[in-house]
Structure formats: C-alpha cells, structure tokens
Amino acid sequence: MINNLIGHINSTINNKLTEDDIRLISEIFHAKKLRKHQYLIQSGDVCKIAAFVVKGALKKYTIDATGKENILELYIENWWAGDKESFMIGTPTPYYIDAYEDSELLVISKDDFTNKLSNLSFITELNNVLTERQSFQLMKRLHSSQTLTAEQKYEQLQDTYPEFFQRFPQHIIASYLGMTKETLSRIRKATAKK
C-alpha cells in the first residue's frame, strides 16, 4: 500500500523522494480500512487525520434540515480525503466523510504531520501543488454551478471524471452536480440518444 502513496508523491513533486523520506513515510502513515458506510469523520468532530485513498471510494457531504445529503466531494484511488481546514486549524468540521465502497486508506495523524513532516521540502511542495489543484477545481465547480446548464455540468463531469459514473450511483452524482436525480436521468437519456 505504501508504494501507491510513494508513487503518487513522486508523480506530483519535481524532486523524487529520498530513501530517508520513504523510510519516514513508511513509519508514520498507517493503514486504515473502512467498511461501506463507515465514517472517516463526522460533523462536529475535529479532523485529526489526513487520508490517502489506496482503494475504494468515499464521499464528503453535509446534511440539510430535511435530512438530505448534499455531496461536496467524491474521492477515489490516489486522492486525499479529509477536511484540511479542520486538520490544520483544529476547528470542528461541518462535514461527513464516509466510505461509499469498502476502502483502504493510508492515514497520518495531525501530530505526526506537524512534528515529523510539515517542515520537509517534499511536503511543502506536495502541499503547494495539491492546494493549487484544489483551488483551481473549486473555482471550476463554482463557475459551473453559477453559469452552466444542467446538461453542460453533466458533460463537464463526464469529460473530467468519467470514472465517477462507474463508481457512484445516479443520486450521488446528481447531488454532486447540484441537481435532482430526475434531471440527471433525463439528461442521461437524452445524451444516450445522440
């Protein structure tokens, strides 16, 4: 499992990990398994771990007053899962993250991150790259939610993350796109006829 994480880091940063870096990563990241529907974090908790998805799929969401899940993020292999603000600052998270599929993760505690990793150059570079990517992705989602039609949102997600459609059911994809499952169903039928 650790080789997945090392490969991910090496493919993200410019300078490859040293043997000392790899040894440290192997010591401080620990395997964690989640069964389907098991929580990684729940609303009100302080996020004390950052998780790298080795296998499986997770969803990050809030629950509104009617009990409806509002999907904010979806995670699959080679993605990081957690609440960065809660992890870094120690504030309670407003989010839930649970496993949509049985999942295998590599997790690091806040203490290990702060005391053993945070000042290392490869972590600084990795964090900068991932923060930049997340910032760009969030701006794209905000832009699409405010300017694109439901059909355009669907097409954009198909182009960007086609694997989501194989991994998550229609109601989760619909919530992620900010539409009803009936609207998504209509769009999928119309797209299939083209």
- Model pLDDT, residue 15: 87
- Model pLDDT, residue 48: 96
Topology given in CATH for the domain delimited by 2-109 = Jelly Rolls (2.60.120)
Tell me the H-state helices in the chain. 2-12, 19-28, 84-89, 110-112, 121-147, 150-160, 164-167, 170-177, 181-193
What distance in Å separates the CA atoms of residue 23 and residue 152, rounded to the nearest whole number? 46
User: How many angstroms separate the Cα of 16 from the Cα of each of 9, 13, 23, 146, 157?
Assistant: 8, 7, 14, 40, 32
Q: Is the pLDDT at 61 greater than 80, yes or no?
A: yes
Segment 37-57 shows an average pLDDT of: 97
Amino acid present at 192: A
- Model pLDDT, residue 193: 77
Q: Does pTM surpass 0.85?
A: yes
**Residue 185 binned pLDDT confidence (cut-offs 50, 70, 90):** very high
pLDDT in tens, 107-155: 999 999 999 988 889 999 999 999 999 999 889 888 888 899 999 999 9
C-alpha 8: how far from chain center = 14
Q: What is the 3-state secondary structure (H, E, C) of 119-169?
A: CCHHHHHHHHHHHHHHHHHHHHHHHHHHHCCHHHHHHHHHHHCCCHHHHCC
**Residue 184 binned pLDDT confidence (cut-offs 50, 70, 90):** very high
DSSP assigned state of 65: T
Q: Provide the residue ranges of all domains of the chain, joining segments of one domain with +.
A: 2-109
- Model pLDDT, residue 97: 98
Segment 8-25 shows an average pLDDT of: 94
Q: Which residue has the tokens 């395997």?
A: 31
